[in-house]
Structure 1
Amino acid sequence: MVKTAETMSPWALFMQADLVVKAVMIGLLLASIWSWAIIFERSRRLRQIDKEAAGFEERFWKAKTLDELQATKGSHPTADLFRAGMDEWQASVEGRANVDREGVRARLHTVMAASIDRSVSDLSDRLSVLATIGSVAPFVGLFGTVWGIMRAFIAIGATQNTSLAVVAPGIAEALFATAIGLFAAIPAVIGYNRLLHRINRMEDRLQGFSSAFHALMSRELDGIH
């Protein structure tokens, strides 16, 4: 049988493959879809958070009182950080005759650091999936490659024929499995690194806002008699 472009097409190679190689290919394709879904969802969310954070910080520095900001609706890391600090401030300062300034400063730092950790942990939640796909997919594809080459050698032994027509289908299936493994792994690795960089930038931004907010509260504490 002459191997034409149609018989050596990706779909034909998939249909000619045995169950093991098909399972490998399907698993890798599903992993690729999963990784792209995570990349698009996290990218969209980070863009939205950046926009909301910029607007909140602008309102923060223009606000006449912090109480009106505390009532602001919406949930994003910067607003959550602000509310955590304000809740601790009100619990530690309001209605108290004697205020432990250093204790309040320490608690403010603690609750705001915890808020940042929660936000970063939430944003980084699915990055482990990308890291896993990026590291495991090439080896899963390699398994399909080894299996396909084994089938090619078995075909040679069964037919006692070493012609390319006998060997080519198994080798093509093997290489196709490798290609799908790389197709799943490369975007996952790139997406992981890119999203991690953006999350680190968001963490730096939150740390900067936390420091500025903590300094503002510290000055307020100095004015309490």
Structure 2
Amino acid sequence: MTETSDGSQRNGLTLAAIGDLHVTDTSQHRYSALFEQISEQADILALCGDLTNFGKTREAEILAEDLRHCTIPVVAVLGNHDYECGQPEEVVRILRSAGVTVLDEQAVEIAGVGFAGVKGFVGGFGRGELGAFGEQAIKGFVEESINEARKLENALRSLRTDRCVAVLHYAPIAATVAGEPPEIFPFLGSSRLAEAIDRFDNVRFAVHGHAHRGTFEGKTPGGVPVYNCAQFVVTERMGRPYALFSLD
């Protein structure tokens, strides 16, 4: 995967990805200039969840206002913060009114590239992955993790493009949450998401957010590149809050 630096000449298709905007109800115009800049640097923008701070209607409206400064197609998934007020459907409605394609039950093709995405869920990685054993509450917890992975797999299966990108909020691998306290790794993502990704040969890479102190890149067990695009991680690495990827 080639990272495209600011000011470079670019040919072909470029994806910008950013997660964890955490827009509050006092964040008016905080991201409008950034979206204008991204529109000059990239052809498609992926938003990797935690778009709002508490999932409030006003927060979503402020983000939608800023997104109208974005002149390229935008795909997005919600994050856990976008569920806090219990109205994720309203957040989705507002974002869609601003022209955003919110992935979850649907996938989309843009300029010959397929995009499939889900919020994802917790559950842990590898040998530390929580299994559906014991109390009903544990089984329900694991079932939610399985359902998110199943939605991602179904969305990827629906795409017929040679190139696909998986857009997530929670991490599919442990490598990109490294830097966070090890005790909270099980709450930062799930290997089940990586298992879904690795079932398809046409997934070029995956992007996610959520782990603010994580690591920028890693790979699934099947070798698919994974990038943590939480704006805090990307800013530390690149000096700007979004990552750019070549889709050639």
Choose between structure 1 and 2 for higher RCO, CA contacts under 8 A separated by at least 6 residues. 1
Higher strand share: 2
TM-score, scaled to structure 1: 0.25
Higher helix share: 1
TM-score, scaled to structure 2: 0.23
